[in-house]
Amino acid sequence: MSCYLRVGGADLVVDALLQNTGMVPERVLHKGDIRTPRSKPLAYSCAVFVVSKADLNEFDQQLNDATHYLELHSTAIKQLVAYPGVEWAI
* Residue-wise pLDDT tens digits, 23-45: 899 999 999 999 888 999 999 99
Is residue 1 very low, low, confident or very high in pLDDT (cuts 50, 70, 90)?
Answer: low
Q: Count other Cβ atoms within 10 Å, centred on residue 70.
A: 12
Q: 61 Cβ partners below 8 Å, 6+ apart? A: 52, 54
pLDDT digits (tens, 9 = 90+) for 3-23: 999 999 999 999 999 998 888
The span from the CA of 66 to the CA of 77, in Å, is 13
Q: In what helix (H) or strand (E) does residue 17 lie, and over which residues does it extend?
A: helix 14-21
Q: How many domains does the chain have?
A: 1
pLDDT digits (tens, 9 = 90+) for 32-84: 999 888 999 999 999 999 999 999 899 999 999 999 999 999 999 999 999 99
Domain span including residue 42: 3-89
The span from the CA of 14 to the CA of 74, in Å, is 19
Rounded to the nearest integer, the mean pLDDT of the chain is 94
pLDDT confidence of residue 56: 85
